[in-house]
Amino acid sequence: MYSGEFERIGKRLFAEHLVGGNFGNISMRNGKEGFFIKRSGAYLDIATEPVFVTFKGDVPPEASSEYRVHLETYRKTRFEAIVHAHPPHAIALSLVTDEIIPEDSEGKMLCPKIPVVRGGPGSPELADNVARAFSSSKLVIVQGHGTFAAGMTLDEAFVCTSLAEHSCRILSLKRSLSL
């Protein structure tokens, strides 16, 4: 079940150029015991068996290197799914601002303020910063790294990921057209 859902969303992420290579990861909560997450190094658009991470205990070495963000988010929120991607316009804007305020109609409606947080990839600091930002937003951009989007379903998290890139692309186009 999870493998097929991960592949379906992974293909959408690739189709919209929100990830490249084997970058990014996906997870889904599995009850109160833990969550399934993409395997480290696995491509998102190819079905591979995800790794189960428990909320208590050792983390399997084959789990994605960003498992800490997913673990901390599930511990501190009610979200059921997380998508981590590397949308280029969102990453670029995260390098020049601490918060992104979408100006397009979809962005204003669905995520009027996108926080930008800091922390090294896979680090406890990043996990804490992202989980804290999720208390007020379903979408977070990590400076120079990418987006984390959360929702009750993978589709909801995917839509937020797509929205981030769309809104950031619009802002970048606006800036390039400003006289």
Domain harbouring 95, CATH code: 3.40.225.10
Q: Do the beta carbons of residue 33 and residue 54 sit within 8 Å?
A: yes
Structure confidence at residue 179 (pLDDT)? 57
The stretches in the chain having pLDDT less than 50 are none
Element spanning 24, H or E: none
Tens digits of residue pLDDT in 92-101: 999 999 999 9
Q: Do the beta carbons of residue 53 and residue 34 sit within 8 Å?
A: yes
Chain centre distance of CA 53: 18
Q: Is the pTM of this model over 0.75?
A: yes
Structure confidence at residue 178 (pLDDT)? 73
Structure confidence at residue 37 (pLDDT)? 97
Write out the residue range of the structural domain in which residue 166 sits. Answer: 2-177
d(CA 125, CA 148): 15
d(CA 115, CA 110): 14
3-state DSSP helix/strand/coil % of the chain, to nearest 5:
40, 20, 40
Structure confidence at residue 21 (pLDDT)? 85
The amino acid at residue 2 is Y
Q: In the chain, how many domains are there?
A: 1
Structure confidence at residue 3 (pLDDT)? 85
Strand partners, 149: 83, 139
